[in-house]
Structure formats: C-alpha cells, structure tokens
C-alpha cells in the first residue's frame, strides 16, 4: 500500500436545480498498489468548469453521467510522486483527468494525459488559457466560427475563461469584437484589459438596444456560452451567412426541468437570418492537443494573451467554489489550489 492517503469528493446524490452541499461527500480513500506502468500523481491544481453541472444529472449527453458515489471528474495539473513507468519520472508535471481528489493512480497510456513542457508560465495556465479552456476557444472560433477580417464577432460570458480567449484571438484575426458580460467591472476588464472593441452589460437592463448599438453592421459570428436572454437578443441581429459555435449554455444548467429548456439552436433557428449553429466539444480536435497547447503557452509567455483567475484554496473549498461559479461569482477561470508546489 502507498504511504499516501487520498481525500476525494464524490457525488452523494443528484442535484435538483442548484447543487447543495448535501449532493457531495468528502471521504478518505486508500490508494491502490501501483502495477507495472502505473504512476501515482499528487494533484496541484484542479479545474472547475460549467460542463460539470449537466454531468451530475441522470440524462443522455455527449458524456456519461457522473456515477453516484464516484469521484467527480475534472482536469488537473499534478506532479508524479511514485512511478512504475518508463514514460514518467518522479517530479514530472502532467495534465490529466484526475478528478476532485488529492491523489490518483493512472496507467501511463491513459487517454488525455500529457507531460507539461514547461516554458516559464504559471503551471495552472495549463488548465486555463493554455489548457482545455484555451483550446476550446481556439478550435471553436477557428473551426466553426471561421472568422474573416472585418467581421463582427460577439462573445457571451466575455470575461469568462473561454470567452476572454475567444475575443483576444478574434482581435488577432482582425475581427471587430463585442463582448457581453455581467456588471460594469467585468465589462471594463473586457474592454480595457482584454482589448475588445465594446462590451455590453446584460445586467444593465437594456440588452437588446445596447447590443444593437454595439453591432451597427449586425453579427457575423456569435460564440455561445450562456443561452437564454443573451441568445434571444443576439438572434435578431445575425447577418446572412453567420456562424455560431455553441460551447455551452450555462444560464440553464441549474434548471430543474432540462426538457423545458429552449436550447440555443432552437432560439437561433427562429431568427430572421438563421445562422449555421453547431454544438461542439474540444475533444473533437484531440489529435491537435499538444501543438495547440504549445502555441497558446507561447502567446501567454509573449504577453499576447491576458487572462484572469479565481482561486479557491484546498479541496475543502471546491464545492463552494463550484456553486459560486455556476452563479457567475468567479472572475475568469475558476481553479482550486489543492496542494502547494
């Protein structure tokens, strides 16, 4: 048996609407003996993302529902502390789907596990701007948004982890970029620090008029993160031939009856100029994972990408950080520092 003891968060019961503390349980778990080819990893950083909420429901999706009493899935940055592998040495830093826990064991051929090629950027960036978040922004915009110079790109949740990167890449490609965010502080950050051309505050109460004013030539690309009222406002301004990459619709994730939700596809299909709208998941381009991560990491090092983080400290704060993220309390990428490096 290992000398380490693992603490993990498991799904105790399925949430009905907003997740409450009783839906989760923190427990101690024994760490299994390493087999040939296995590594034991200590979690340093844990990524919290909106997609985790729908996975807690017992419903058909692009991913299997989280099992009751199972450790909740998440991408992490970890450090190898024991190794029976010739691919990974003690001290190697990796990204992997390690879950909401302090330690985990993986075979060295586990899917979507990669050694970090460190180039002097913060380790946690490999979960955010240089990680799944950045790759989601990159592939969604390039592959489905197909941006052309001079086009108008609108990004919802513009101050968020994905939205902020989408807008900055859009600017690199010569688009006019308009963000939608909640509150004057987030809108100010989007324009002044991320470099968007404008940002509409959906909490100000004049969403339709403000969006129309910010997009006098209509909208060519809409990067969808939230759904609901924002999508309805955007739908009236879509230009002929417009494109909508759908990353998610977080505004509905805590709804109690998912069957009654009007999805972004349904809202957009009823617009005067229905766009080509497609839901995507970043793993569709998994074969380009490492090359894109290296590109994003270099942009961060060269100060071409700016990002904001919200950091919770320790496994015990994970549940409240997750609950807050679903209500938009985080600013930028939501992370949990599980153990100090």
Do 102 and 170 lie in one domain? The reply is: no
Tell me the C-alpha distance between 336 and 245, whole Å: 28
Do 96 and 10 lie in one domain? The reply is: yes
Do 45 and 119 lie in one domain? The reply is: yes
Name the pTM for this structure: 0.90
Per-residue pLDDT of the chain (341 residues; tens, 9 = 90+): 567 899 999 999 999 999 999 999 999 999 999 999 999 999 999 999 988 998 999 877 666 889 999 999 999 999 999 999 999 999 999 999 999 999 999 999 999 999 999 999 999 999 999 999 999 999 999 999 999 999 999 999 999 889 999 999 999 999 999 999 999 999 999 999 999 999 999 999 999 999 999 999 999 999 999 889 999 999 999 999 999 999 987 666 565 565 677 889 999 999 999 999 999 989 899 999 999 999 999 999 999 999 999 999 999 999 999 999 988 888 889 999 999 76
Helix (H, G, I), strand (E, B) or coil at 202: helix
SS3 letters for 145-200?
Answer: HCCCCCCEEEEECCCCHHHHHHHHHHHHCCCEEEEEECCHHHHHHHHHCCCCCEEE
Whether the CB-CB separation of 157 and 189 falls below 8 Å is answered with: no
Q: Which domain holds residue 40?
A: 6-124+309-337
Do 136 and 269 lie in one domain? The reply is: yes
User: Which of these, 91, 57, 52, lies nearest to 75 by C-alpha position?
Assistant: 52
Whether the CB-CB separation of 6 and 43 falls below 8 Å is answered with: no
DSSP conformational letter for 90: T
Do 201 and 115 lie in one domain? The reply is: no
Tell me the C-alpha distance between 262 and 230, whole Å: 12
Tell me the C-alpha distance between 303 and 213, whole Å: 31
Instruction: Determine the straight-line distance between the first and last CA of the chain, rounded to whole angstroms.
Output: 24
Instruction: Supply the CATH number for residue 240's domain.
Output: 3.40.50.720
Is residue 292 one of the residues assigned to a domain? no
DSSP conformational letter for 101: B
* Tokens representing residue 205 in the block: 């109460």
């Amino acid at each position: 048996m290992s000398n380490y003891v693992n603490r993990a968060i498991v799904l105790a019961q399925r949430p009905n609407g907003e997740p409450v503390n009783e839906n989760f349980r923190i427990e101690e778990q024994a760490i299994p003996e390493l087999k040939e080819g296995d590594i034991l990893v200590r979690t340093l950083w844990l990524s919290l993302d909106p997609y985790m909420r729908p996975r807690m429901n017992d419903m058909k999706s692009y991913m299997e529902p989280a099992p009751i009493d199972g450790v909740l899935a998440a991408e992490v940055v970890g450090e190898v502390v024991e190794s029976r592998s010739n691919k990974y040495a003690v001290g190697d830093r990796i990204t992997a789907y390690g879950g909401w826990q302090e330690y985990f064991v993986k075979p060295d051929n586990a899917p979507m596990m990669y050694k970090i090629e460190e180039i002097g950027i913060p380790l946690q960036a490999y979960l955010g701007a240089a990680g799944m978040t950045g790759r989601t922004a990159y592939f969604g915009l390039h592959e489905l948004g197909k941006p052309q110079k001079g086009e108008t790109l609108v990004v919802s949740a513009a101050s968020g982890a994905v939205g902020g990167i989408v807008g900055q890449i859009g600017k690199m490609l010569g688009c006019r970029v308009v963000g939608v965010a909640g509150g004057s502080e987030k809108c100010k950050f989007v324009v002044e620090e991320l470099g968007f051309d404008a940002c509409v505050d959906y909490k100000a109460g004049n969403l339709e008029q403000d969006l129309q004013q910010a997009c006098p030539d209509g909208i060519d690309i809409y990067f969808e993160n939230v759904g609901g009222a924002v999508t309805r406002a955007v739908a009236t301004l879509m230009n002929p031939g417009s494109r909508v990459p759908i990353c998610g619709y977080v505004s509905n994730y805590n709804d109690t009856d998912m069957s009654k939700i009007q999805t972004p596809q349904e809202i957009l299909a009823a617009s005067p100029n229905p766009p080509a709208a497609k839901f995507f998941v970043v793993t569709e381009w998994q074969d380009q994972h490492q090359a894109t991560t290296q590109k994003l990491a270099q942009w961060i090092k060269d100060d071409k990408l700016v990002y904001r983080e919200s950091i919770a400290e320790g496994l015990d704060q994970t549940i409240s950080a997750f609950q807050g993220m679903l209500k938009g309390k985080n600013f930028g990428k939501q992370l949990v520092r599980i153990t100090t490096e």
